[in-house]
Chains A and B, each alone.
Chain A
Amino acid sequence: AQKVTQAQTEISVVEKEDVTLDCVYETRDTTYYLFWYKQPPSGELVFLIRRNSFDEQNEISGRYSWNFQKSTSSFNFTITASQVVDSAVYFCALSEAPPASGTYKYIFGTGTRLKVLA
């Protein structure tokens, strides 16, 4: 069965520290997609990254980087030199390629609340 685990419920760091948010997933499919979303205090989930199961290259976007390792079923997210504006809840999500019936869904982790202190 599909499952996404974000074991870190809450993390607090001081501004300018690096922080890594963990995401471990379970799937029996060979074709799947992984996502990270940010939910700031305003409430709206903001898309950060989408990665398919065949692309294990690490991704860097500014202060954000993602490490995808199929061997450990992990898709971890690192923020370098954190800022107060990074304070939010971060969700990892998994979606498999649709089965023959055409239906599919996304599975979200329980989220990690990141607090960056000035």
Chain B
Amino acid sequence: DVKVTQSSRYLVKRTGEKVFLECVQDMDHENMFWYRQDPGLGLRLIYFSYDVKMKEKGDIPEGYSVSREKKERFSLILESASTNQTSMYLCASTLEAGSTDTQYFGPGTRLTVL
């Protein structure tokens, strides 16, 4: 079974802090994604990566950056956290680049920015 893990289930940070959300998958998947989930808005894509050191902006990249130094790990970075970034963050991965494979999701990180 594919396993996607996220570093924290719950996180509380202060405005202006730099925040790192980590995601690791153990099935050698090419693609990794970061979404945020907000009530009434569903899942919105922040960034995705289809290879090591490669990244593409999603629909809402402002205020975020990402890093993929190793194939299994995809980090989401909030350079200076703001209260409007309080949300549930979901990481996902798929097997092949350039395909429409099933996405496998991690358990999510619920981030609160005070």
A-side interface residues toward B, CB under 8 Å? 6, 9, 32-33, 35, 37, 42-47, 50, 91, 93, 95-98, 102-106, 108-111
Contacts and interface: CB of A to CB of B under 8 A. Distances in A.
Interface of B: 9, 33, 35, 40-45, 48, 50, 56, 58-59, 88, 90, 92, 97-100, 102-108, 110
Interface-centre pick from B58, B88, B102, B108 (highest chain A CB count, 10 A) = B102
Contacts of A111: 42
Contacts of A37: 105
A50 B43 contact: no
A45 B97 contact: no
Given A103-B56, A111-B42, A96 B107 contact: no
Contact of B100 (A43, A44, A103, A104): A104
Contacts of B103: 35, 45, 47, 93, 106
B107 A110 contact: no
A77 to B, nearest CB: 16
A51 to B, nearest CB: 11
A110 B41 contact: yes
Given A44-B108, A110-B40, A110-B41, A105 B58 contact: yes
Given A35-B102, A91-B43, A104-B98, 7 more contacts: A37-B105, A43-B9, A43-B107, A44-B107, A45-B103, A47-B103, A106-B100
A106 B103 CA distance: 9
A92 to B, nearest CB: 9
Contacts of A96: 100
7 closest residue pairs by CB, A with B: A110-B42, A45-B105, A108-B43, A95-B100, A43-B108, A33-B100, A44-B107
